[in-house]
Amino acid sequence: MNIVVLTPIRLLGDGLSACISHCPQMKVLAVVSDFSRLRSTLDATETDLVLIDVTQGIDLHDVRALAAGYPGKSLVALGLTEQRQDVIRCGQAGFTGYISRETPADALCEALTDVAAGRLVCSAEISSGLLRALYLMEKGVQGPAQPADTDPALTRREAEVLHLLGEARSNKEIARALCISVATVKHHVHNVLEKLHLQGRAQAVRRLRDAPGLAGAPAVMAQEAKQ
């Protein structure tokens, strides 16, 4: 099995490569630090599985694009927090499996073998969540229509801030629109990014583009209309 590792942490990548080198029939072809290098590597090699470090936060939009562009590759989330919403979100993005943060090094090769064989080893809670997500998809209720099953709930104010982030407004502009202090805006922005597992404002714009129902546009417009 040919594997490519994506992680921004060189030490982690080298450690994973050394660990996997002891596994029969597994070979790490390359360790890359970003999606651009990953795509170049996939174009130039015969890769079977991509191990993607999610501990530092990644843009799932990039994962979706990767899964669509390379449908024959198994994408595995490395270091995933084993919570129902996180697992469902990764599955919707195109990951075919995950290695949880609690997985010991000596179990890594077995876990990768399970993923390559199409076996998903997870807790009963995760299994229940996946079945629930499939049920909602069958009913046509998915994505932003059911944020409680796919994203942590945002407060009304956080949704308003997210809406304005989607318009590329600065903290001062958001504060003016909502009649709150810049410090309060920074607090809400931090909470939004943390709840949605985003690394910055640019990712927030892309997340809102994928799921516009997350933001409370009507409430924001009402606030501005009063000014």
Give residue-wise pLDDT tens across range 77-93: 888 877 777 777 778 88
Mean pLDDT of 127-144: 54
Q: Could you tell me the residue ranges of all domains in the chain?
A: 2-121, 152-225
Domains 2-121 and 152-225 share a fold: no
Mean pLDDT of 124-140: 57
Per-residue model confidence (pLDDT) at position 118: 72
Q: How confident is the model over 179-194, as pLDDT tens digits?
A: 999 999 999 998 888 8
What residue type is assigned to position 140 of the chain? G
Place of tokens 């998903």: 120
Mean pLDDT over all residues of the chain?
79
- Structure-model confidence comparison of residues 177 and 134, the more confident one: 177
| Architecture label for domain 152-225 | Orthogonal Bundle (1.10)
Instruction: Flag whether pLDDT at 7 surpasses 50.
Output: yes
Residues 6+ apart with CB under 8 A from 72: none
Against a cut of 0.85, is the pTM above it? no
Which CATH number does the domain 2-121 belong to among 2.30.30.830, 3.30.300.30, 3.40.50.2300, 3.40.50.720?
Answer: 3.40.50.2300
- Structure-model confidence comparison of residues 116 and 165, the more confident one: 165
